[in-house]
């Protein structure tokens, strides 16, 4: 594809994340939304009408009727495999939401289908496109903090109640809090530190609430670095979504605390000095929206042939890490109640 071309996108799944992706593509002149598919006609129709598109009940119908170059899969995790394999067989490039899947069999089937069809696939790990995480990655890559020793991250929210049929609260469909929420920080930790070699997870669940949990995970990496990750879906409804991280290196440290108000800032500590990065000091993202930035990256890589920031192998590693953490709890090194 030449740099003058536009990528035609078909979205399958018109729920919460499908709406976010549609809005993100609207900022990008190199992307053209072509159609929306969803088994719920009212959802597909409403999202399609917002952007002047046609809507379809199934991915099959959309692919038969519309000329699309890529399919954006915004379906619940259990349906990723079917949609990705179908899109690949039709010769379409694919963006699929995180997690890649909740088991490795589905992931391996998707990777095999993509390889056989000669198409490209990216998994939408959006944190890699957030300025605060782009900063810490660039500092580590440039050796500004010395050898990384420890990465700590946390991500807390009220119990999600917005998903279709509450599928996020069904651990058999979502993989639980570790796969839906902590997967973000697992991926970032692997992105910064490499391949984990040791796994330990503790999980607490509230009585009478079989879906959401509070999860604490510990990883030891091949290079000796440690990670401690906390994620919770048990906060009260009044509690605002909160996230942050701290990376400690041999020669410095960097910290991000999500603000309750005001702009984001990242603090970089070296020796006796501290540098505060905020606003214009942080890496720019399209329209100030990391989702728009992520989608623009996907489109640009399709047009130029450049590698994706998130490879399928890296997205697979995030899921494999979550599964090994969960297995460590099931073996008794963690606590499930």
Closest to 295 (Cα-Cα) out of 70, 1, 37:
70
Q: What is the pLDDT of residue 209?
A: 74
User: 46 - beta bridge partners?
Assistant: none
Count the Cβ atoms, other than its own, within 10 Å of residue 26.
Answer: 16
Secondary-structure percent of the chain, ordered helix, strand, coil, rounded to 5: 40, 25, 30
CB-facing half-sphere around the CA of 240: CA atoms within 13 A? 6
Cis-peptide into 99, omega within 30 deg: yes
For the whole prediction, is pTM greater than 0.85? Answer: yes
Collapsed DSSP state (helix, strand, coil) of residue 228? strand
Q: What is the pLDDT of residue 165?
A: 65
Residue 230 has which token pair?
């906390």
Domain with CATH 3.40.50.720 in the chain: 7-124
pLDDT by residue, tens only, the chain of 337 residues? 444 599 999 999 999 999 999 999 999 999 999 999 999 999 999 999 999 999 999 999 999 999 999 999 999 999 999 999 999 999 999 999 999 999 999 999 999 999 999 999 999 999 999 999 999 999 999 999 999 999 999 999 988 766 566 665 777 767 789 999 999 999 999 999 999 999 999 999 888 777 788 999 999 999 999 999 999 999 988 999 999 999 999 999 999 999 988 899 999 999 999 999 999 999 999 999 999 999 999 999 999 999 999 999 999 999 999 999 999 986 544 444 3
Is residue 43 within 8 Å of 12, Cβ to Cβ?
no
Is residue 66 within 8 Å of 32, Cβ to Cβ?
no
240 class by beta-carbon count within 10 Å (0-12 exposed, 13-18 middle, 19+ buried): exposed
Residue 13 has which token pair?
């799944």
286 class by beta-carbon count within 10 Å (0-12 exposed, 13-18 middle, 19+ buried): middle
DSSP string, 180-192: HTTHHHHHHHHHH
Closest to 170 (Cα-Cα) out of 242, 77, 96, 97:
77
Domain with CATH 3.30.360.10 in the chain: 128-284+318-333
For domain 128-284+318-333, give the CATH number. 3.30.360.10
Query: What is residue 170's DSSP assignment?
Result: -
Is residue 163 within 8 Å of 15, Cβ to Cβ?
yes
Q: What is the pLDDT of residue 166?
A: 66
Q: Does domain 7-124 have CATH number 3.30.70.660?
A: no
Closest to 7 (Cα-Cα) out of 135, 120, 164:
120
Collapsed DSSP state (helix, strand, coil) of residue 241? coil
């Amino acid at each position: 594809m030449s740099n003058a071309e536009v990528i035609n996108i078909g979205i399958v799944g018109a729920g919460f994340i499908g709406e976010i992706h549609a809005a993100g593509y609207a900022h990008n002149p190199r992307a053209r939304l072509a159609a929306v598919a969803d088994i719920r006609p009212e959802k597909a129709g409403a999202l399609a009408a917002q952007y002047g598109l046609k809507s379809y009940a199934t991915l099959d119908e959309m692919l038969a009727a519309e000329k699309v170059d890529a399919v954006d899969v915004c379906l619940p995790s259990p349906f990723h495999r079917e949609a990705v394999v179908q899109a690949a067989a039709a010769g379409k490039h694919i963006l699929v939401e995180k997690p890649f899947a909740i088991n490795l069999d589905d992931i391996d089937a998707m990777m095999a289908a993509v390889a056989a069809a000669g198409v490209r696939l990216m998994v939408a790990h959006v944190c890699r496109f957030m300025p605060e995480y782009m900063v810490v990655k660039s500092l580590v890559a440039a050796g500004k903090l010395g050898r990384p020793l420890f990465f700590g991250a946390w991500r807390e929210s009220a119990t999600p109640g917005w998903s279709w049929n509450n599928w996020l609260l069904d651990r058999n469909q979502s993989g639980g809090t570790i796969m839906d929420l902590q997967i973000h920080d697992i991926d970032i930790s692997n992105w910064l530190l490499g391949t984990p070699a040791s796994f330990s997870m503790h999980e607490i669940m509230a009585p009478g609430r079989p879906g959401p949990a509070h999860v604490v995970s510990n990883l030891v990496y091949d290079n000796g670095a440690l990670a401690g990750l906390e994620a919770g879906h048990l906060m009260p409804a009044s509690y605002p979504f909160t996230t942050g991280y701290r990376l400690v290196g041999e020669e410095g440290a960097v910290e991000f605390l999500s603000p309750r108000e005001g702009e984001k800032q990242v603090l970089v500590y070296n020796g006796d000095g501290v540098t505060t990065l905020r606003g214009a000091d942080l890496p720019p993202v399209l329209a100030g929206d990391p989702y728009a930035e992520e989608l623009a990256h996907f489109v640009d890589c399709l047009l130029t042939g450049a590698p994706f920031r998130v490879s399928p192998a890296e997205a697979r590693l995030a899921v494999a890490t979550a599964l090994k953490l969960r297995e460590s709890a099931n073996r008794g090194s963690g606590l499930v109640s």
